[in-house]
Structure 1
Amino acid sequence: MKFTTRKLVSAAMVAAIYATLTMVLSFSGYGLIQYRIAEALTVLPAFSSIHIYSLFVGCMIANLLSPYGWLDIVVGSLASLLAAIATYYIGKSKLKYKKYLVPIPSVLFNALIVGGLLYYEGVAPTFLIGFLHVGWGQIVCAYILGILFYTLIEKKTILKRVFTGI
């Protein structure tokens, strides 16, 4: 991938938006049920690979406020990184309904990894409870809001330029 100033600025902006939204709305971004509105941004790697890194950095910064400490900073951010990589490859595919598939990695990786982390930390009484609760928050924020955001980017040229760095 060729790095341009526009792509770098777009990536920095997305990382800052992700971190800021999560930190400002921290009452809903940490815990058993996590409604991280910033997770709507997880569709962006489908448009540009630069956002694999921006979401990872944004999540890492946001997780500095996590009550689960270094474990969430490392493990939670790695869940976002894996999801972003998978999202990028779905975005590159020729699948007919990829818009509806793009948010799935974020839902699954976060439900599995962060749900497991919450079980390990004793927040969730079982792994299944952690998986279901984190998964529900991801369905609302990453899937539903993510598809709406994806659709906006598809239809609005200015948003596409801003969020993809093209």
Structure 2
Amino acid sequence: MKKQNVTFLTQAAMIAAIYVVLTYVFAPFSFGEVQVRIAEALTILPAFTPAAIPGLFVGCLIGNTLGGAILPDIICGSLATLIGAFFTCKLKDQAFPLLALPPVISNIVIVPFVLRYAYGIALPIPFMMLTVGIGEVVSCGVLGFLLYTALKRYRGRLFVPAGRK
């Protein structure tokens, strides 16, 4: 296996593991119609490495499974994180506020419908969009900004791009 593939897989696996641990440790407020998933702060990482895209997806998939989510939530919630991570990577050269938008928007659009139709939560969808959105702004916006600020000075050194030593 090429060294660049090993680097990519190692970074993805580490990000997935951190996402799972953060989701599991903070499970009491990582799930439900009012949630602040601390692990979603990691959705800023695709701005630093494309390995974060599969890492976040797999981490969310495992985190949702271990957290007791039902199958539609496991699939759709993980896809929301995947979509957010993909578009954050596409915006990697933009300023921070734009980097946080894709995961916030994808979760606002997808998660309330999962809560309604998979869990039968009878709250109005616009209200759940608001509550999920607030949680995402806290996790992706506030905590993601702190993570981004801490990591940006190490851009290109912390996450070694594939093919570099």
Q: Same fold (TM over 0.5)?
A: yes
Structure 1: gaps spanning 5 or more residues: none
Give the Å deviation of 1:4.
3.7
**Contact 1:9–1:165, Cα closer than 8 Å, also in 2:** no
Pairs within 5 Å for 1:6-155: 6-91=7-92, 93=93, 95=94, 98-120=95-117, 121-155=119-153
Output the CA distance in 2 between the equivalents of 1:165 and 1:70.
Answer: 35
2-structure distance, mates of 1:35, 1:23 = 13
- What is the percent sequence identity of the aligned residues? 41
Would you identify which runs of 4 or more consecutive aligned residues in structure 1 move more than 3 Å? 65-68, 159-162
TM-score by length of 2: 0.88
CA distance in 2, matches of 1:118, 1:53: 24
Aligned length: 158
- 1:160 & 1:152 partners in 2: Cα distance? 13
Question: Which one has the bigger helix percentage?
Answer: 1
State the 1:6 CA deviation. Answer: 2.9
Q: Aligned partners of 2:156, 2:142: CA distance in 1, in Å?
A: 19
* Cα offset, 1:106, TM superposition: 0.7
Structure 2: where are the runs of 5+ without partners?
Answer: none
Contact 1:56 1:78 (8 Å CA) reproduced: yes
* Deviation of 1:151 (Å): 1.0
